[in-house]
Amino acid sequence: MPDTAEIASVSIVLIGQFNPTIFSPAWIEKVGLVSKELADTAEVSVIHPDISAFVVGPYNFDVRRGRFSVEVKTEPIIEVLDCVLVIFAEYLPHITVTQFGINYTTHFAVGSADRRIALGRRMAPLEPWGDFGQDIDGLSGPLTSGMVELTMVRTYDPPGTGERRVRVEPSAKPDLENAGVFITVNDHRMLAGTAEDLGSEKALELLKGVFDESLDTARKIVEDVRLFAEGLPE
């Protein structure tokens, strides 16, 4: 499935018990994920016992005591998975991980502001809203109103193992000239077992097994919405 998005990023989020001060550009270089040159030119927001946030090479890290996140915005997207596997399979396998998420986020253009409004009207019809909906329908130009956020959820079987959550909004990116759509797909997985016996092995095994399918599904969702929008009048 081709990625037709104007801008896309992929992140992996782990939920567990982390020590943010471990994570720094120098440590990311030490484990072999980036060169010394990239580590030396990293953009560091904060490194603190409660949070480490920095950008080094293709990676955007945000690490807190209960949450680890790394994001990439450039191909090859697989680098985000490789990064997590290097850190937690090779260097920190003892770290407890009880949940993880694979997040695909994109902005894309639909051709015109009118088409974006039409997409919002189809996703969130005004008829059920009575007088409030009629009031919205009567607005035009810069006053045009309507859907600002819609979330769809598909839970996994058995219950309690996770869900795929899709959020759609108008894109706020000015270069898309009020004709952009923002979609984020969060594939959230929860592991069975007690925190003491998990480590990161179980989570990483599942993460590796579902990563490609998760991204394929996310891209298909985005593509289906984009193609639907293309068929709407401008």
**79 burial type by CB count under 10 A (0-12 exposed, 13-18 middle, 19+ buried):** middle
Average pLDDT of the segment spanning 126-145:
92
Q: How far apart are CA 114 and CA 210, in angstroms?
A: 37
CA 144 to chain CA centroid, nearest Å: 28
CA 75 to chain centre: 15
Q: What is the mean pLDDT of residues 142-166?
A: 93
Cα dihedral 172/120/220/182 (nearest 10): 10
Mean pLDDT of 9-29: 96
Residue with the larger pLDDT of the pair 213 and 160: 213
Residue 229 clears pLDDT 50, i.e. is over it? yes
Angstrom CA distances, 177 to 107, 108, 114, 172, 173, stand at 12, 11, 11, 9, 8
Cα–Cα dist 63/206, whole Å: 21
- List Cβ neighbours of 89 (8 Å cut-off, separation of 6 or more): 200, 201, 204
Contact 190, 162 (CB under 8 A): yes
Domain segments of the chain as ranges: 7-11+100-230
What angle do the packed helices 201-230 and 78-85 form, to 10 degrees? 170
pLDDT of 79 reads: 95
Phi, psi of 109, deg, nearest 5: -90, 145
Other C-beta atoms lying within 10 Å of the C-beta of residue 75: 10
Q: How far apart are CA 196 and CA 207, in angstroms?
A: 19
**Confidence label for 196 from pLDDT (cuts 50, 70 and 90):** low
